[in-house]
Structure 1
Amino acid sequence: MSAETPTPQDSGLPPPPAPNKTSSLASGSYPDESFRPTILHLGDDIRWNHRLYVELTKKFKVERTYSIGREDFKQALKDRRWGDFVGIYRPFWNTGGEMGNWDKELIDLLPKSCKIYASAGAGFDWVDTRALAQHGTIYCNSASACTESVADAAIVLILSCYRAIAWSFLAAQSCDTEQFQDANQNIAAVTHNPNGTVLGIVGLGRIGMRIAEKATRAFEMKIVYHDVVRMEEREEQIGAGWCATLDELLQTSDCVLLATPFNGEVLLSTPQFAKFKPGARLVNIARGKLVDEDALSQALDDGVISAAGLDVHANEPNVNPKLVKKKNVMALSHTAGASVESHIGFERLGMENLLGWLEKGESGVVSPVNLQWLKRD
C-alpha cells in the first residue's frame, strides 16, 4: 500500500498553522481540526495493517524517508525538509534504520515539535532514550508484539542447553559417520532433562514473564528472578522466588536466562561466571553486549558453564567464532522475535502509539519506555 498522502494544498485544506502553534500538539490536540500534523514514516511500506494505516493518514500527514543514509538524513533535518513534524514511525526493525544509531548528534537535529517516536522491536540499545526524553520526545517500543515469538525461541535454547541439541544437529548435518556415532553414543552421558531444575531469569518483564510461564508449564521448572524492582504479583502468578542480588541468582540457578535491556554495561564476565553453579547453563535472548564473550568462551572451555544458547551477539552481524563453533553452544542469528505475527504487531502497535498520543497526549501512548526522564513543556 502506498504511504503517499495528499498535501493540504492538493486536498484543498488550509495550510498548516505557523510553527509556534505546534506546541499544543504535545497534549495530543491541535488548534485547527482540518490540519493534519506531520509524522515521518521511516523505511518500507506497510505490509499488513492497511486499514489502520488509512486511519493514520486521515489523522496525520505522512512524509516518507524510505532508505536514507545518516549524512543525507542529517542534512535533511538541517534543511527542515519535512518541516515541524510531530512524530516518527518506524514499523520494521530491518528497514528505516539506515541512518545508524540515534545518538545525541542526531536527536539534537530534530525539530522541537517532535514529541513521539514509535518504533518496531523490543530492544532500544541503538537509540539514546534519555536524550530523546530531554528533547521532549517519548520513545515507544513494540516489545509486546514479539513476546510470544521470543519466549518460544527461548524455550528452544533452554532445551538445547539441557539436551545438547546443537551437538546432535550438527553431527547429523555433517553427514560424517564418525561425528554421527560420536553424538549418538556420547550425548546421553552429559545431558539432562530440565524438569524440576531452577531457571534464573534476569529481567522479569513481559518477555521474561512469558518465558517463565512456558518453562513452568512445559518443563515444570522452578523460577527465580532478579530485577531492578521486585514484582510480588508476578511472583505469586508463577510461584517465582525473588533474588535481591544478581550473585544470589547466579548461585541458585541451573540455567540463567538474560531478558533485560542493555544499559551500556557488561552484565556477565569472568567474576560473575565464577559464581555460577558448576555446570550451569546460560541463555541470552536480550542483547549480546550484556555478555563478555571471551569470558564466556573460557567458562565453557573450563566446564564452569556446561552449555549456552545465544540468540544475540556482541558485535552483530559478526559472531564470535570461538563461541559458535563449540558443540555445546546453540547460536541463532538474532531471530528470536522474528515471525510474521511479530511484524504484524510491530506495525500495529506503532500506529496505536501515534494515534493514542494524538487523542490523549502522554496518557494515550501504549508502550513508552522513557517517561521517567521526559522533559515536558
Structure 2
Amino acid sequence: MNWLKAKMGSHGWDLTDDDIKKPNVLFLGPIQYATQELEDFEEYFTVKYHEGDHEELIKRCKKGKYDGYAGILWNHHGSQFGVLNKELVSHLPPSLSVISLPSAGYDAHDIEACTAKGVLVTNTPGVVSGACADTVMFLILGCLRHFTQGQNNLREGKWLTGVPIGRDLASKTVGVLGMGGIGKAIAKRANAFGMMVNYYNRKRLDIRVEAEYNVQYVAYETLFRESDVIVICVPLNDSTKHLISTAQFEKMKQGVVFINISRGPIVDEAALVKALEGGKVASAGLDVYEHEPKIHEGLLKHPQCTLLPHMGTDAEETRLDMEKLALRNIKRFLMSGDAYFPVNKVEASKPLEHLMSDGIDISKLNITLQ
C-alpha cells in the first residue's frame, strides 16, 4: 500500500503495512496475462481467490464467508463458476458494490438482479473487436473458398474429391448486421480483401464515419437481398433472440454465406440447417451456437460449414487487454464511484477517494479502506 503510506507520510504520519486493511476483492479464476497490472491492483486491494464451483460459491456467501468484500472479478472462462443467476445474486454480501467481467458479452448473467441488489456490473467492450473481426475473416475464407472441407478431405486421404470450387472474396458484398466496434473492424479487413461492405444499424452512422470505414448503409431487407456474405454482429437480448429465422433466410440470395460470431440464440439453428439443406445458404461459418456446447447435428454433418468452439477472443493479446480493463473497472469504481464501462446503472457506494485527498483525518481512517 505504498501509495497510502507515501500520502500519509507527507502529512507526518508513519504507517506500516500492518496498520492498513485493504478492501477484499474476490477473484473467480486467476489473472493469467495482466500480471504486472495485478501487482499494481494489489497495492490498493487484497485479492482473495474462490476455490470451488458455483454451488460452493453460494454456500460460502450464505455462511458469510465473503461478508465485507467490496468487489468480484468474474472470470467467465472458468465454466465451473456458472453465471450470475438470481439465486446467487440474492446471497451476495451487502458490502459488494461491483462485479467486473473480463468479457464484452454479459447476456448470460442476470443484470436486473444485480441492479436490484445495488451491484454495478462492468464489461470490456472494444478490446475484443480485432480478435472477433479476424475470426470473421477466417470463417469467410473457410466458407467461400471451401478451405475447411479441403482440410478435412486432406486428413481423410480424399484430397480434392467432392470439394466444390470456391469463390473469390474480391468484389463480393458483405452485409454486416450491427456496425459497432466489431462491425467496423470487420469492414476494415473486408475492404482489404476487396469486398464491398453494406451495413444495417438501428441508427445510421455519421456519413464521415461511413466514409472512414468505406461502408454503405442499406435497409434491413436490402441487406439480406443483396449480400453475398451476411455477418451477424448484434448483442443478444429479448428483441434479438431468433432475429434470424426462416423468414430472413428466405429473403437472402441463393447460395449466400452466413456468418455468426455474436451469440448463438440470435439465430434459429433449426431454420439455418433447413436453409443449408435446401441450398439457400451455401455454407455457414459459426463461432457460437444456440445451445452450446451442444451443436445441431445438421451443422456438424454439413461438409461446407466452418465451425469453431466459441474461440473468437482466444488470443493472448486480447485476453491481456480484457484482464487489464477488468482490473481498471474495479479499481476506478471503488476509488471514485465511477467505472469505465458500466453495464447497468446503480447508485454509487461511497468511494474511497477521500483517502487520496489532502485533507486526510487519521482519526476517521480506522486503519481500513472499507
TM (normalized to structure 1)? 0.82
Moved more, 131-140 or 316-325: 131-140
Shift of 1:255: 0.9
- Alpha-carbon distance in structure 1 between the residues aligned to 2:175 and 2:347: 36
Residue 293 of structure 2 is matched in structure 1 by 317
Give the letter for the 1:260 counterpart. Answer: V
Matched, 1:242 2:217: yes
User: What is the aligned counterpart of 2:316 among 337, 340, 343?
Assistant: 340
Shift of 1:11: 4.7
Shift of 1:94: 2.2
Residue 248 of structure 2 is matched in structure 1 by 272
Residue 47 of structure 1 is matched in structure 2 by 32
Residues 127-167 of structure 1 deviation map (CA, whole Å, 9 limit, x = unaligned): 12233233222222223333222211110101222111122
- Alpha-carbon distance in structure 2 between the residues aligned to 1:295 and 1:79: 47
Matched, 1:258 2:232: yes
User: What is the aligned counterpart of 1:157 among 139, 145, 153?
Assistant: 139
Shift of 1:375: 5.1
Matched, 1:182 2:162: yes
- Alpha-carbon distance in structure 2 between the residues aligned to 1:267 and 1:375: 34
Moved more, 275-284 or 232-241: 232-241
User: What is the aligned counterpart of 2:76 among 93, 96, 99?
Assistant: 93
Residue 22 of structure 2 is matched in structure 1 by 36
Give the letter for the 2:93 counterpart. Answer: P
- Alpha-carbon distance in structure 2 between the residues aligned to 1:307 and 1:212: 20
- Alpha-carbon distance in structure 2 between the residues aligned to 1:322 and 1:333: 16
User: What is the aligned counterpart of 1:299 among 275, 278, 285?
Assistant: 275
Identity over the aligned pairs, expressed in percent? 27
Divergent runs of 4+, >4 A = none
- Alpha-carbon distance in structure 2 between the residues aligned to 1:343 and 1:215: 24
Moved more, 334-343 or 143-152: 143-152
RMSD: 2.1
1:1-377 → structure 2 map (5 Å cutoff): 11-13=17-19, 34-44=20-30, 46-66=31-51, 68-90=52-74, 92-95=75-78, 97-176=79-158, 180-183=160-163, 187-188=164-165, 191-217=166-192, 219-232=193-206, 233-245=208-220, 247-264=221-238, 265-362=241-338, 365-371=339-345, 374=346
Give the letter for the 1:83 counterpart. Answer: D
Give the letter for the 1:243 counterpart. Answer: V
Residues 197-252 of structure 1 deviation map (CA, whole Å, 9 limit, x = unaligned): 221112222112111111112x122222223333225323212222353x332223
Residues 285-322 of structure 1 deviation map (CA, whole Å, 9 limit, x = unaligned): 11111111111111011111111101111222222221
Unaligned runs of 5+ in 2: 1-15, 350-370
Contact 1:353–1:366 (8 Å) recurs in 2: yes
Give the letter for the 1:299 counterpart. Answer: A
SS of aligned partner of 1:312: coil
SS of aligned partner of 2:161: helix
Aligned residues: 331
Contact 1:226–1:244 (8 Å) recurs in 2: yes
Residues 101-147 of structure 1 deviation map (CA, whole Å, 9 limit, x = unaligned): 21222212223332221112222222122332332222222233332
Give the letter for the 2:203 counterpart. Answer: V
Residue 21 of structure 1 is matched in structure 2 by none
Unaligned runs of 5+ in 1: 1-9, 14-33
- Alpha-carbon distance in structure 1 between the residues aligned to 2:80 and 2:203: 35
- Alpha-carbon distance in structure 1 between the residues aligned to 2:342 and 2:242: 25
- Alpha-carbon distance in structure 2 between the residues aligned to 1:293 and 1:309: 13
- Alpha-carbon distance in structure 2 between the residues aligned to 1:213 and 1:360: 36
- Alpha-carbon distance in structure 1 between the residues aligned to 2:332 and 2:92: 21
Shift of 1:40: 1.0
